[in-house]
Amino acid sequence: MNITKSDLFYVLMSIVVAAVGVVAVSNPNSNLGLYGLMGLVAIAIVMAIIIKPSLGANILVLAIFTNISDLLTKQGYIGIIKPLVVVVAVALLLRYFYAGQIPIGHSKTAKVEYLLLAYFMVVIASFLVASDKTIAMSEITDLGKDIVIIYCILFALRQPQTWKQTAWLMIITTVLLCLLSMYQFVTNNYDQTFFLLASIQMDKALGASPIPRIGGPINAPNLWAQVLVAISTLVVFRLFHEKQLVKKLAAILILGIILYVVFNTYSRGAYLVLAIDAVLLLFVFRKQFNPMILIGAAMVVILMIPFLPATYRDRFTSLFVVTDENGIYQDTSLRGRSSEMLTGLAMFAEHPILGVGAGNYKPNYQRYAQLIGIEFRADARDPHSLYIQLLAETGILGTVAFLAMIFFLFDALNKACRALERWPQFADWLPWISAMRFVILSYLLTSIFLHNAYIRYLWLFIAMALAGIQITYTMLNNGERNLPVEARR
């Protein structure tokens, strides 16, 4: 009987599984048994991903959206995200090695990938000027891990159907997490956190009386709202482009749940970006709207305002405080953020090339905040703006590399959409790619007011966009080859 290379691999894996299983079961050392069990799980994941590569992307999406690694760490267990990334990466490399189909670079995303590498190099270089080398090294390691995740998703998602499944997984995971938070609100049981997958912060955001703010699995209302607003745009595209009535109704329900949770995060930045998204989406779908329906909907919204809970109204109206000459200084939150942003600009002014080092805004905050003199706090603060943070921590080199990467990503997405418009047979794929522009844009708009504490979500969205672009041109090239010679462009 002939044994192929693939057969030999599975035979060896079976032997390893059996050996690890024997050690895990028979050894009296409980820690060794636990690690043995984890080894069995890792091997099972590897074998499953080798059979179905898209499973690797889905595992990473679940790990990121549930924030499972951080939650395990908070409960005294070891974090799993880095080992999980290694397992998925190894599995994908083994899969393509034994299949003889190692994925190669794609010309349509090359500029984005080169600029991502350039940004990574600048972050590494900023280690040289960082005052806290430990924090800088942690930031470098995390960014390296996120880049590996990007390429895992690029390797794992090679077909439009698997890409769509992963996009739906993002939506479904998000709405399930939102349902956990809704349960807390409906039952008024904020102590039930579902193993920390749902969190509530009692915050005095509107004065002396504390209000519950939904923080999701990351326990950060503003940052969780940022993710929800981005995902909501993906759901809107499903609402308008799904052909089945059941899926349209499901999209309406999902959108309603997500928006309910966004409102209960009380994130003013999220409210503002929701309004911007609404205007942009109206422009995109203007041909599918009846003007009278729009006018009617606007009137309903206006009439509903007096009946909204006072906390919502107060949070909405607090957005207009910036129109007052001294409004920023009257609102403690805005005053603090002004101080934090100006402090970041002061860091950039003193260190314009490489900044103060990756992750080193907080260690340097107190020294520079005293120079600004708007607000004095004893604790270290965050910059509350991704772009200010880029300037402060990576200087002009890091900021230019990052923004250039984003520019060419949108350019590639726009070109992919224009190319798809010429192919009616790919009409069902076009809305997915178009939606990714809004997902990333929404995240970047809210990033004006928020720092990079959970930027892993943005890297995941970028990975999905890059994978979508590569799939698009693979589909177009295959379609071109299938046309008669005289019909080819």
Q: Collect all residues with Cβ–Cβ distance below 8 Å to 375 and sequence separation of at least 6.
A: 335, 336, 338, 339, 369
Bridge partner residues of 200 (DSSP): 214
Which of 192, 195, 174, 196 is CA-nearest to residue 183? 192
Report the first-to-last Cα separation within the chain, whole angstroms.
50
Question: Is residue 432 within 8 Å of residue 417, measured between CB atoms?
Answer: no
Query: What DSSP line would sit under 231-290, residue for residue?
Result: HHHHHHHHHHH--SHHHHHHHHHHHHHHHHHHHTTT-HHHHHHHHHHHHHHHHHTGGGS-
Q: What is the pLDDT of residue 77?
A: 79
Number of helices and strands (H, E) in the chain? 19, 2
Secondary structure of residue 211 in the 3-state scheme: strand
Q: What predicted TM-score, i.e. pTM, was given to this entire model?
A: 0.87
Instruction: Output the CA–CA distances (angstroms, integers) from residue 155 to 110, 162, 356, in the order listed.
Output: 15, 12, 35
Per-residue pLDDT for the chain (489 aa), expressed as one digit of tens each?
A: 444 444 444 445 444 444 444 444 445 554 555 555 566 667 777 778 878 889 999 999 999 999 999 998 888 878 888 888 988 988 888 887 776 666 666 789 999 999 999 999 999 999 999 999 999 999 999 999 999 999 999 999 999 999 999 999 999 999 999 999 999 988 999 999 999 999 999 876 565 578 899 999 999 999 999 999 999 999 999 999 998 999 999 999 999 999 999 999 999 899 999 999 998 998 888 776 656 555 655 565 555 555 555 565 555 555 555 445 554 445 556 666 778 888 999 999 999 999 999 999 999 998 888 877 656 666 678 888 999 999 999 999 999 999 999 999 999 999 999 999 999 889 999 999 999 999 999 999 999 999 999 999 999 999 999 999 999 999 998 875 554 444 344
Q: What is the pLDDT of residue 14?
A: 46
Bridge partner residues of 201 (DSSP): 213
Q: What is the CA radius of gyration of the chain?
A: 24
Q: What is the pLDDT of residue 171?
A: 97
Residue type, 487: A
Tell me the two tokens of residue 67: 């924030």
d(CA 405, CA 386): 15
